[in-house]
Amino acid sequence: MSTTTTTQPDQGRRLVIAVLGLGLAFLFIGSLIHRLQNPGLTTQARLGETSAAMNEVAGLMARLDAEPNHLPTLLALGDQFMRMGAWDRAAVFWRRALAVDPSHDKALNGLGVAHYNLDQFPESAEQFRRILALHPDNHRAHFNLGMLYKHYLNDPGQARQHFQRVLELAVGDEDLVERIRQELSELEPSAGQ
């Protein structure tokens, strides 16, 4: 039978390892407790923004109860829900605004953007076409239609027409012109080119 005795250096190593292990455990537990008690600043800021947005929505809804067809309130609610990413709710208020004023550019544009974000591309394109029926030189509506036709509605000919119109209208907006040239370069050549 053999007896094993530990030497002084072995006991010292074990003690150091035990202290390090215990220190790491305390560090981990402390970090976990801190994270649970103090979620990141980003999370707190988002919660604050959401709370403020919901307070604003509540105030606007109260105003709408008093005046159901108040156009500025309908537009503000559409904007607020867009900022919140609640596209379906925003669309409700854009439609209500259009019931009050069927030719309101901002409401048409907002509804087009909401449809786009809901992956309702034909409906989105319809809103931008309505803008162009009222304002044929609206280069943003031409741009949006070009993007929809190119990337979602598979109509490169229509995309090209709208992009060409943007180039005619957006003189001075070099960033937009460059973006349109890039989009056009990615289109297949048309039969006449």
Is the CATH code 2.40.50.140 the one for domain 47-118? no
Domain locations along the chain: 47-118, 136-193
**Burial class of residue 184, CB neighbours in 10 A (0-12, 13-18, 19+):** middle
pTM (two decimals): 0.71
Q: What is the pLDDT of residues 91-136, one digit of tens each?
A: 999 999 999 999 999 999 999 999 999 999 999 999 999 999 999 9
Q: What is the 3-state secondary structure (H, E, C) of 19-45?
A: HHHHHHHHHHHHHHHHHHHCCCHHHHH
Q: Are 72 and 80 in contact (CB under 8 A)?
A: no
pLDDT at 136: 97
Digit-coded pLDDT (tens) for 163-193 = 999 999 987 899 999 999 999 999 977 654 5
